[in-house]
């Protein structure tokens, strides 16, 4: 606890430093607040309490932030303990957000930290309006896109009250990045979708007939067997019962082809497209995120403009650059896009194109044309009702050049597709 107060005192001294030859000058804003005042009243939301989130929470508590909230829907798994250092073996099965918050509170009792064991989509708009800054330590591109779209929407709806800077961090093995997103001012996350790795895919013929890797067997169980046996139930990568089922089926298939290496961690990694995490990469990126949060909140130094990339694949390489805002962005730009497809294209192929297009990268699009429902992903009653449209060609459903309305779990509002 003593070291925590020493760190806080060090931050205070840093924020009070003055440049030479400026006697009598006090750094204050229009409301007569000093950088230390701004830090003291900042309310920060950390999304994700995993590998990055644990590091970020520790750094924030040791950097003078006094009001921290953390939200995570996940529970602690044994495989997390090698890098998510706020957790212990006895914590396995407990909510990450709650355990992380309790650990930080014990270590830094002067910090107010509140946990939320929920999905980010469950929280009301007013919840997000209450924060000064949001820091994302997520391993899901869908969740990152959702929060990005939400905050950009808050600015459009509420003006400056809805303006919440986002510090977004991500790691992938020995690579990582951090970026400062000023909603509707600079490039948002969707402006640079092409920067993010696509999900690894395997040929259907391989996983169905000639598997050679444990991943092939896991894909067979999750992509082919699960939909066949449970057509009305979505495979949930965070549900232990679902993943245990995948492990059981994949292990049986692997035994047939004499393929070793199936385990729970690998199965969940394949289902959720998880890249193996390295603790030191998490530490580097989390440090960058926290430093940028400190600069954005206190204005003590210029913040990152606006993207930092780190690579430890070959030696050590790091650089930053201003990623340009995309005027055609579906979130912060014109909110509409276009696809050129043959008239004989089926609606199912159109949905596949929306998923695979580097511009859209949607997850589970629902499509309407005017007042006509072409295809609904949910609820299952509407999905069954609109399913026959999937086999129809698009020229049977609407005219060429028509504008469709598309909704998706990665977006908080609908978009128009022509």
The token pair that represents 416 in the structure block: 């128009």
* CB of 193 closer than 8 Å to CB of 323: no
The order of strands in the sheet holding 404-407 is: 336-337, 415-417, 404-407, 366-369, 372-375
DSSP 8-state code for residue 115: E
Instruction: Residue 220: name the closest of 193, 245, 185, 198 by CA.
Output: 245
Burial 335-360 (b: 16+ CB within 10 A, else e): bebeeeeeeebbbeebbebbeeeebb
**Helices 51-61 & 96-107, crossing angle to 10 degrees?**
30
Three-class SS state of 339 = coil
Q: Which residues contact 137 (CB under 8 A, 6 or more apart)?
A: 46, 47, 48, 49, 50, 51, 52, 53, 55, 56, 169, 286, 289
Give the total residue count for the chain. 418
- Is residue 205 part of the annotated active site? The answer reads yes
CA–CA separation, 157 vs 154, rounded Å? 5
Residues paired with 181 in a beta bridge: 166
DSSP 22-65: -TT-----TTS--HHHHHHH-EEEEE--SHHHHHHHHHHHTTT-
DSSP 268-313: HHHHHTPPPP-HHHHHHHHHHHHHHHHHHHH-SSPPP-SEEEEE-S
The active-site residue out of 205, 289, 300, 332 is 205
CA–CA separation, 281 vs 312, rounded Å? 8
Residues known to be catalytic: 205
């Amino acid at each position: 606890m003593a070291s925590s107060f020493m760190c806080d005192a060090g931050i205070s001294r840093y924020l009070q430093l003055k440049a030479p030859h400026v006697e009598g000058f006090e750094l204050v804003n229009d409301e007569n607040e000093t950088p230390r005042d701004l830090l003291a009243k900042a309310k920060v939301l950390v999304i994700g309490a995993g590998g990055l989130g644990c590091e970020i929470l520790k750094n924030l508590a040791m950097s003078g932030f006094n009001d921290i909230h953390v939200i995570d829907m996940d529970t602690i798994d044994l495989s997390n303990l090698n890098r998510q250092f706020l957790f212990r073996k006895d914590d396995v099965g407990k909510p990450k957000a709650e355990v992380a918050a309790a650990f930080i509170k014990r270590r830094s009792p002067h910090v107010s930290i509140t946990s939320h064991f929920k999905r980010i989509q469950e929280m009301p708009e007013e919840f997000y309006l209450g924060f000064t800054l949001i820091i994302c330590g997520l391993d899901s591109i869908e969740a990152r896109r959702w929060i990005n779209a939400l905050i950009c929407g808050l600015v459009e709806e509420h003006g400056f009250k809805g303006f919440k800077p986002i510090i977004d961090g991500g790691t992938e093995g020995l690579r990582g990045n951090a970026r400062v997103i000023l909603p509707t001012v600079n490039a948002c996350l969707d402006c640079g979708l092409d920067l993010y790795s696509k999900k690894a895919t395997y040929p259907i013929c391989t996983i169905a007939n000639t598997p050679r890797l444990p991943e092939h067997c896991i894909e067979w169980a999750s992509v082919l067997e699960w939909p066949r046996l449970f057509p009305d139930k979505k495979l949930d990568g965070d549900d232990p019962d679902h993943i245990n089922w995948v492990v059981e089926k994949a292990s049986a298939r692997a035994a047939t082809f004499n393929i070793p290496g199936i385990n729970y961690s690998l199965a969940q990694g394949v289902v959720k497209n998880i890249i193996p995490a390295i603790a030191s990469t998490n530490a580097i990126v989390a440090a960058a995120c926290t430093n940028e949060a400190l600069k954005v909140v206190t204005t003590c130094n210029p913040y990152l403009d606006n993207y930092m990339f780190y690579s430890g694949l070959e030696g050590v390489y790091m650089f930053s650059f201003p990623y340009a805002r995309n005027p055609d962005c579906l979130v912060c730009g014109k909110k509409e896009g276009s696809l050129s497809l043959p008239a004989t294209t089926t609606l199912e192929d159109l949905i596949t194109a929306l998923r695979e297009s580097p511009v859209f990268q949607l997850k589970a699009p629902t499509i309407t044309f005017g007042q006509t429902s072409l295809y609904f992903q949910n609820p299952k009653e509407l999905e069954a009702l609109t399913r026959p449209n999937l086999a129809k060609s698009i020229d049977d459903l609407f005219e060429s050049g028509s504008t469709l309305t598309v909704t998706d779990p990665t977006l908080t509002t609908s978009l128009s597709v022509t």
